Amino acid sequence: MPPQINPVLILGAGINGAALARELLLNHIPVVLVDHADIASGTTSWSTRLIHGGLRYLEHGETSLVYESLAERERFLRNSPEHVAPLELMIPVKSQFAGLVSSAAGFFNLPIFQSGNPSRGSWAIRSGLTMYDFLAGSQQLGKHKRLSSQRWKPIGFDPSFMDVFSYYDGQIEFPELYVSTLIRDAETIAQQNGVRFTLRTYRRPKLNGEHFEFENLLDFDSPTDPITPSALVNASGPAGDETLEQLGIPSNRLFGGTRGSHLISHKPVLVEKLGRTGIYAEAFDGRPVFILPWNSGALIGTTDLRHDGDPEVATATPEEIDYLLRCVNSVLPDVELKHEDITQHYSGVRPLPFVPEGSTASIPRGHWLHTHEGTPWPCYTIVGGKLTTCRSLAEHSAETILKQLGQKQVANSQDRKTYEEGEKPKISPGGRARFVLQHLTGVAPEADTKTAAAASIEQLNAKTMADVIERRLMLVFDPTLSVAHLEAVADALIEAGKLSADARQTTIDQYIQRMDTRFGKQVLPA
């Protein structure tokens, strides 16, 4: 790399920003990755946690996106088995021919499809799955199948369902930890290639002429040198328009995010009925709903509502919670899921493009790199994107940036593994976070909370209680989360110089309140 190339500045340390940083570093381009909060603290943390082709995208004619996503699904399963595992999904249907015409019309973008959410019968589902198999090619997950009644009757589907199909996609239990893995890999690549990689969290960028200064949002961090980037990439997700406005970069509105809310339940009858197989069904109103085995519990989602407020405070509304409860009970009536069966909820905003009219389901789910004109350096905004396509988005974006910088592409991440051991990891249900943490830090799974917290602070860039609990140790999803856990994390932060002893109790009290308001979760007494 010629020494005159300044770092590319990436604003947003979610899954897309981290993946792009890795891709540029593979090509010997220095990177400064900045976020006003923690890594993976935005949309990355609030998804349905699937690595999938997007079966329902076929109804909207997004065939190229499905093809790309299925290829990336295969790479995830091959390159990162410590993060992604195959998941069988059952699709129950109520009729033979419903939805066949409207699904075909949607695929060919004909106006007839614009009328509501029709029910999808066996022929429509089978046609979609056949196309899905065709686009996937000869991948390791195999093809869809029609299940025998002996297989699905005991699950307790609503009697109105007459047939059940199954197919496979992938599940990524903790994309938050995948981002930590990407950043660790970026650090390794930078060291091997002798180029700069700097991660700065809790920093707010300020544009001063052609160079950037960074406001420190935490008291204990050291000052950050200003930089003049060779290029700027706005990867701040659904807050992308606000980022451009704050920097004074003129742009038309690019984002029109939608809110997706999820429920988590550990009700034994629901967990038992699912086993290790998920359900992808139509709700009572025709919208798709996932009921998934996840982290020793069940994950239920999602909603899809336009969201114009601050994405950082998106919370599942009572109406959304009622809607998802009704969805589950319309599919599995014997479960009788109630409010008291919900362990917690979470909600986030998708970084979708701005589409002022039409149904949220019809908003394109693809991604692209938007170019801004009139800036002192090449300037781009990542629009769209999802977990599954983070790597391909990064590769395509890097190609554009490299060309603009006059550099040749010398490498890509298509075959880069994050897990190098010979056999696929054997991970017990509910044990993936501990397994990945051990893989990243060397801390044994049986380590106490304070020891694990200290490792995440020292080695994985955690700086606050939320960083540790929500995006490193993943205790936020532990139904036994207690004040004792919070106290152990607080003590680790104090010893690392990230928290003053005087603020210990206040920090714990504030975090208990955050669990209640943002997640609907009660922290147990010590």
- In this structure, the number of other CB atoms found within 10 A of the CB of residue 376 comes to 12
> Looking at residue 2, what is its pLDDT?
47
For residue 409, the model assigns a pLDDT of 96
Q: What is the pLDDT of residue 424?
A: 84
CA distance 92 to 280: 8
The yes-or-no verdict on residue 464 having pLDDT over 60 is yes
Whose CA is closest to 276, among 410, 19, 56, 89? 89
**pLDDT score, position 285:** 81
- Tell me which amino acid residue 107 is: F
55-59, 191-195, 222-226: segment of lowest average pLDDT: 222-226
Residue 496 banded pLDDT, cuts 50, 70, 90: very high
Tally of CB atoms within 10 A around 129 = 20
Q: How far apart are CA 335 and CA 507, in angstroms?
A: 38
> What pLDDT is recorded for position 140?
81
What's the gap between Cα 206 and its chain centre?
A: 28
Q: Which of helix, strand or coil describes residue 292?
A: strand
Q: Does residue 131 carry a pLDDT above 50?
A: yes
Contacts 24+ apart (CB under 8 A), 213-221: 214/34, 217/36, 218/463, 218/464, 220/497, 220/498, 221/463
d(CA 319, CA 300): 15
Spatial separation of the C-alpha atoms in residues 102 and 107, rounded to whole Å: 9
pLDDT at 408 over 80: yes
Per-residue model confidence as pLDDT tens digits over 342-369: 999 999 999 999 998 888 887 888 999 9
Tell me the pLDDT band of 219, cut-offs 50, 70 and 90. confident
Tell me how far apart the alpha carbons of residues 198 and 188 are, in angstroms, rounded to a whole number: 12
Which pTM value belongs to this model? 0.94
Task: For the chain, give the percent of residues with pLDDT over 70.
Answer: 95
Per-residue pLDDT band at 217 (split at 50, 70, 90): very high
- Residue labelled with tokens 């690595």: 51
pLDDT, average across residues 376-390: 97
The overall average pLDDT reported for the chain is 93
Task: Give helix 100-107 / helix 122-136 axis angle, nearest 10°.
Answer: 40
Strands (DSSP E) along 133-257, which ranges?
145-146, 163-172, 197-201, 203-208, 211-216, 231-234
According to DSSP, the residues that pair with 311 across neighbouring strands are: none
**What is the dihedral angle through the alpha carbons of 104, 105, 107, 110, rounded to the nearest 10 degrees?**
160
